[in-house]
Amino acid sequence: MGREMALRFARLGAKVVCVDINPQSNEETYNMITSELGYAFKYVCDVTDRAAVMALAEKVRKDVGDVDILVNNAGIMPCKPFLQQTEKEIRLMMDINVNANIWLIQAFLPAMVERNHGHIVAMSSMAGLMGLRNLVPYCGSKYAVRGIMESLAIELRSEPRDTSGIKFTTICPYIVNTGLCKKPRIRFQSLMKVIEAGDAADIIVDAVLRDLLEITIPTRLYYSNRFGYRLLPLTAAAIFLDFFDTGVEAHDD
């Protein structure tokens, strides 16, 4: 999904900074952008390493200039029962899904505040809006992303300097065909189907251009969750989840 977003931003005329821990994948994305005559830069970085992220931010400033839109897209999703998830799996997932968001925001937000201009985009999930079996730590990480984004937007409102030009968008996708979810479970295919990465990227870029604060993919799930599922008593909510029977089956990576 990150690659699809990068291509779409490049087609809109953006200078795209591609960051990945995998050099080969990053090179492929870079080449796809430049083959369309887009403007791209590529950097290899472990975004769970705060020092490496700070060094990356400094290098990007020197090579490219100040970043206008930061898209925090890195994520992993172990799919297995809670008691079967190892400490190593959970710590790595929290580092990638949560801490990397914090380090990248700390690295790039100061320049945005200085200029009163910028946009931070973070990937949460429908698993950040409701609990799902086989995804307990993952749900925790995606709830955390939403909390970070919401509280940061609130905190900046009390900043002495004018920060009205800094925008936030949190994305909560349903199951997207990115390879993370190998065994989706969907009872009603006509209502809830796996979303292709390109289609999700179209919706995300549109949300960023419109300065939307939070969206789900598909967008109708935002309202069904906010004004339906969340208003139900817990016992009724459990029946709701059982009826739709949507989620992921346990599997090894």
Whichever domain contains 226, its CATH number is 3.40.50.720
Question: 158 CB contacts (<8 Å, ≥6 apart)?
Answer: none
Q: Is the pLDDT of residue 180 over 70?
A: no
pLDDT (average), residues 82-97: 97
- In the chain, what percentage of residues exceed pLDDT 70? 91
Average pLDDT over residues 28-50: 98
Is residue 149 pLDDT above 70, yes or no?
yes
pTM: 0.90
Range of the domain at 221: 45-248
86 belongs to a structural domain: yes
pLDDT at 80: 93
Tell me, what's the pLDDT at 97? 98
Better pLDDT: 165 or 187: 165
Question: Active site residue: 30, 43, 138, 174, which one?
Answer: 138
Over residues 144-159, the mean pLDDT reads 97
125 versus 193: which is more confidently predicted?
125
* 122 vs 239, more confident: 122
- The pLDDT value recorded for residue 130 is 87
Q: At what angle do helices 2-11 and 197-209 cross, to 10 degrees?
A: 50
C-alpha to C-alpha distance for 146 and 114, rounded to whole angstroms: 24
Domain-embedded: residue 235: yes
- Inside any domain, residue 110: yes
Binned at pLDDT 50, 70 and 90, residue 233 comes out as confident
* 162 within domain boundaries: yes
223 in a structural domain: yes
Mean of pLDDT values over 71-96: 96
Confidence check: pLDDT of 253 > 90: no
Cα(229)–Cα(140) distance, rounded to whole angstroms? 19
On whether residue 78 sits in a domain, the answer given is yes
Task: Confirm whether 39 is a catalytic residue.
Answer: no
The burial class, CB within 10 Å (0-12 / 13-18 / 19+), for 202 is middle
Q: How many domains does the chain have?
A: 1
Q: What is the mean pLDDT of residues 131-153?
A: 95
How many residues are there in the chain? 253
